[in-house]
Structure 1
Amino acid sequence: MSLKKRWSARAGYREALQIGLPLVISMISNTVMTFTDRIFLGNYSLESLAASVPASIAAFLFLSFFMGVSEYVNVFIAQYTGSCRHHDVGRALWQGIWFAIPSGIFLALLCLVADPLFRLGGHPAEVQRLEVIYFQILTVGSGPFLLGVCLSNFFAGRGLTKPVMLISICSVIINIPLDYCLINGVGPFPELGIAGAGIATVVGFTLPMVVYSVLIFTRENEKQFRVLSAWRFDRDLFGRFLYYGLPGGVEFFLDIFAISFFVFMIGRFGPVELASTNAVFSIYNLAFLPTLGLHVAASIMVGQAMGDRQPDRAAFATHSVLHLAMGYMGVMALLFVCFPDMLMNLFRSRNDVGDFDAVLRMGVVLMRYCAVFTLIDAVAIVYVGGLKGAGDTRYTMLVMGCASLACIVGPLIVLHHLGLTSIHGPWICLLLYVMVLATAFAVRFRKGPWRRIDLIGRNAKPERG
């Protein structure tokens, strides 16, 4: 199909951009928030930068499972919307809320295990102390984040992604200046360093939850979607939600676990290797998080098409999103290759006396790895979004588990045991990992067993009108 025809076709580029672009902007907003946070910390002290990435990755590792499950409300709402069962939207939303509340409490309790957890990393004592502080604040604030993610699905699952974008932008507008003030002690704010960065992030988590609650739980939405009257726990729907959502959460957890393990093992190679890898991962977020917005767009479009019993449209939508993702990631890969020095120098400390030069030299090399990784990752990200939108979550979970053990965990343990401390070994393992994922998900999607999955059940009669 020509580009012109695919632009205007159902589930083509235009529709993908209408749904996906606000999500991309939302993810870019979150990326900017994370990126500026790292820059502020890098300018504050090299130890704060070195501690921020392992601590935030560790916090996100635990959060990722519950986030992956909570996000799966999105697919149920998309399929109910596609099948015109609008009165079931509120029921689906509330099952996500009943999952998110106890999950947030559990995550908050993880602050009690922060000290022994970061001792396992073997990082320098000052870095460990800062890691514990940052991790504790982020885990305590995970509950509002989970609820915000769950509530955002009310709009995103129905293809109304502009509210998600606007709320994310407002959160960033508040977070960035608050972040700077709390880290550096500007005006009436105390100088809290990495603790200030964590507090500002939690504030950024809480604002969306409050705004979504005000927008969703209205009389108008009650009439069409039953967002108030469907508050009760529904055992059957909750069970179906967990059946498909839990593997999605495990898959997301395993992916983040592989990256977390990678970063912690790099920390054992040396402080320069750790700082350069942390900076490169922070830069890579400029490519990854917006593409994650396209991943969600693929899930929404596939979910709506499958709800309408049109698997061919679901496949067409996935490939439309894939083309857009590859285009974006291609641009980012060029930036990584052409301007690595400029990007790395954003993390140079204001008190630097030459210590950053070694980090810069190694970071320039790693940016080349990152450029290749970026292009391959686009394929994996979009195809897994399509598979999850159809409900094929058990396959994605199994592939992610096998790949993380075979390509990341096992090889890095062997490299460490043999005393091989070259930075190239771990990064080659990382490239192999994402190549396995991209190949496995692409082959699965093209074979098409996902076309036969009945996620929402067809016994209930659709409500038209």
Structure 2
Amino acid sequence: MSSNVRYAEGGVKEMIYIAFPMLVSNACETVMVFTDRLFLSRLGSVQMSAAMSGGMSSFMLTVFFIGLIGYSTAMIAQFYGAGKKEMCGTSAFQGIIISVLAYPLILLTRPLIHYMFTKTGMDEAQLYYQRQYFDILIYGSVFFLIRHSLSCFFSGIGKTGVVMFASLGAMVVNVGASWVLIFGHFGLPEMGMRGAAIGTIIGSISSISILVFAYMRKDNVDTYGIKGSFRFDRALTLKLMKFGTPAGFEFLLGFTAFTFIVLIFHAQGLTTATAATIMFNWDHVAFVPLIGVEIGVTSLVGRYIGAGRHDIVHKTVISGLKLGVIYSVIVALLFVFLPYQLTDFFRPDTADPAFEAAVPLTVYMLRLASVYVLVTAQMVVFMGALRGAGDTFWAMVISVSINWSITIATYIIMNTLNFSARAGWTSVVLLFLLFPVLLYVRYKSGRWKEIQPAV
């Protein structure tokens, strides 16, 4: 059941065939977020920090549904591996139905996030831009969910190159639109923060167009039963809910914890907020491509479990570890040896005292993050393996426990004990080391082999 007959089942080449396009695809997502913040940093540190907090808050409202729908990758892969290809299209459409139904629920939570913003104690100037950015993104959230649903279909059947090209298209459109709208080129008014948010939505719509075109190609329609897939399937939806809900809660609670960590740092003043924003921007650059490795592991593990080939699963995991660690070592070396250069990427065009004061803290955080990056590769591979096998409940328990332990510890260290931001960041990195250890213990136990596949 290899993705391509030229590649050994579960080998590194097969992993690269599946994971590399997803790594590129997620790198494109990183470029879109990174360039928006980079463009906004030219307007000042306040706008840059506001884009990070506002963007994370909007993502937090969609992340449960992203995790839930994301399990369709494993489910589709299991159908593919079992030879039930006609069920792949129907499974994907259940994700699209959930996307549309989720949209009004997401909008209803908007006032709660506005209230949360006012309680963080952050600078009023940042709050103004943060609300502006958040509001526009949340109104466009349905496009992101539909795009995610279509991407899961192609990831599940192993055609990750389609997702890559759609992401490349979104990146080109998003970066170009943001540049024009933020700075007001070609006679358009300078929209600043609003332009960055609108550019992001335009990028998502362009990606959906590419994915729909590929989805409706004749070979897909004939092979995966696309024409008959546009219907509600109660049994498939219940399976998606059963296995995807724990993943959704894991994403929601984990990302909420991470958002609170960012807000804890941002509440320490503009200097710490600037340092944390720069560091987390580079952390985003380092982490998001690794999600491509995780998706590759999830897809292949799901495929081999669907085919009844448990013997290939561990080989697939080892291949994922090799690919992830190579990438992480390169990133870690950049963090250790080029922290000043990485910081200067975000230097504003005009003199900014907050930026200058933040440089030493940013350098410290980046260098310490090299440790964090190295263990992240191991975390995503074991997480991908458990999700591909359907062991989403225990993956959720481990993820939520670690993330909220880190959040609580950071709050106590920085707000109750009044230690420095350096001490807070050190605690984050040290506690994060537990993540891959606990996931490995769960994977090594072999309990995932007892779970009945979705097929």
Which bracket does the TM-score occupy, shorter chain normalised? over 0.9
Contact persistence 1:19–1:297 (CA under 8 A): yes
Q: Contact 2:361/2:422 (CA < 8 Å) preserved in 1?
A: no
- Name the residue aligned to 1:254: 253
Q: Is the 8 A contact 1:403 1:433 kept in 2?
A: yes
Whole-angstrom CA distance in 2 between matches of 1:351 and 1:24: 35
In the TM superposition, residue 161 of structure 1 has moved relative to its aligned partner by 0.8
SS in structure 2 opposite 1:91?
helix
CA distance in 2, matches of 1:269, 1:413: 11
1:451 corresponds, among 446, 449, 452, to 449
What are the residue-to-residue correspondences of 1:142-221 with 2, within 5 Å? 142-221=141-220
Task: Write the distance in 1 (CA, Å) between the matches of 2:108 and 2:132.
Answer: 14
Alignment deviations for residues 276-303 of structure 1 (CA, whole Å, 9 cap, x no partner): 0111110122210111110100001101
* Amino acid in the other structure paired with 2:87: D
Name the structure 1 match of 2:440. Answer: 442
Does the 8 A contact of 2:290 with 2:324 survive in 1? yes
Task: State the Cα distance separating 1:310 from its structure 2 match.
Answer: 1.1
In the TM superposition, what is the alpha-carbon distance from 1:352 to its structure 2 partner? 1.8
SS at match of 1:349: coil
CA distance in 1, matches of 2:191, 2:110: 19
What is the rounded CA distance, in whole Å, between the counterparts of 2:218 and 2:319 in structure 1? 37
Query: Per-residue deviation at 1:447?
Result: 1.5
**Contact 1:380–1:434 (CA under 8 A) maintained in structure 2:** no
* Aligned-pair identity (%): 28
Deviation of residue 219 (structure 1)?
4.8
Displacement of 1:114 in angstroms is 4.4
Q: Which moved more, 1:15-24 or 1:413-422?
A: 413-422
Tell me the CA shift for residue 434 of structure 1.
Answer: 2.1
Matches of 1:75 and 1:87, distance apart in 2:
15
* Deviates most, 432-441 or 12-21: 432-441
Paired AA for residue 127 in structure 1:
Q
Which residue in the other structure is 1:97 paired with?
A: 96
**1:170 partner letter:** G
Q: Distance in 1 between matches of 2:309 and 2:417?
A: 54
1:414 corresponds to: 412
CA RMSD of the aligned region, Å?
1.6
Is contact 2:274-2:354 (8 Å) kept?
Answer: no
Q: What is the deviation of 1:9?
A: 3.2
Query: What CA deviation, in whole Å up to 9, does each residue of 1:408-430 have, x standing for no partner?
Result: 2x223323442414012321232
Question: CA offsets, 1:110-136, max 9 Å, x none?
Answer: 444443231022111110011101111
For 1:371, the equivalent position in structure 2 comes to 370
1:65-91 residue CA offsets vs partner (Å, 9 max, x unmatched): 111111111111111011100111122
Q: Distance in 2 between matches of 1:195 and 1:109?
A: 21
Q: Aligned letter for 2:368?
A: Y
Matched, 1:336 2:341: no
1:404 is the counterpart of 2:396 = no
Q: Output one character per residue of 1:383-403: Cα deviation in whole Å (capped at 9) or x when no partner.
A: 101110110000011112222
Structure 1 residues 339, 417: closer, same or farther in 2, change over 3 A?
closer
1:431 has 2:439 as partner? no
Partners in 2 of 1:32 and 1:8 — Cα distance?
31
CA distance, structure 2, for counterparts of residue 221 and residue 364 of structure 1: 49
Equivalence map 1:340-351=2 (5 Å): 340-351=339-350
**Alpha-carbon distance, 1:354 to partner:** 4.2
In structure 2, runs of 5+ residues without a counterpart are 1-5
- Secondary structure at the aligned position of 1:269 is classed as coil
Alignment deviations for residues 256-277 of structure 1 (CA, whole Å, 9 cap, x no partner): 1121010111122221111101
SS of match in other structure, 2:33: helix
Q: Does 1:53 align with 2:43?
A: no
The verdict on how the C-alpha distance between 1:191 and 1:375 changes in structure 2, with shifts beyond 3 A counting, is: same
Q: Distance in 1 between matches of 2:184 and 2:178?
A: 10
- Structure 1: distance between partners of 2:417 and 2:439: 34
The structural deviation recorded for 1:102 is 1.1
| Alpha-carbon shift at residue 433 of structure 1 (Å) | 3.6
In the alignment of these two chains, the number of paired residues is 450
Corresponding residue for 1:29?
A: 28
Q: How far 1:318 moved relative to its partner?
A: 1.2
Q: How far apart, CA to CA, are the structure 1 residues paired with 2:353 and 2:403? A: 36
Alignment correspondent of 1:381: 380
Find the aligned partners of 1:25 and 1:197 in 2 and give their Cα distance: 22
Output the CA distance in 1 between the equivalents of 2:366 and 2:82: 45
Q: What are the within-5 Å matches in structure 2 for residues 69-148 of structure 1?
A: 69-148=68-147
Q: Unaligned stretches of 5+ in structure 1?
A: 1-6, 458-465
TM-score (normalizing by structure 2): 0.95
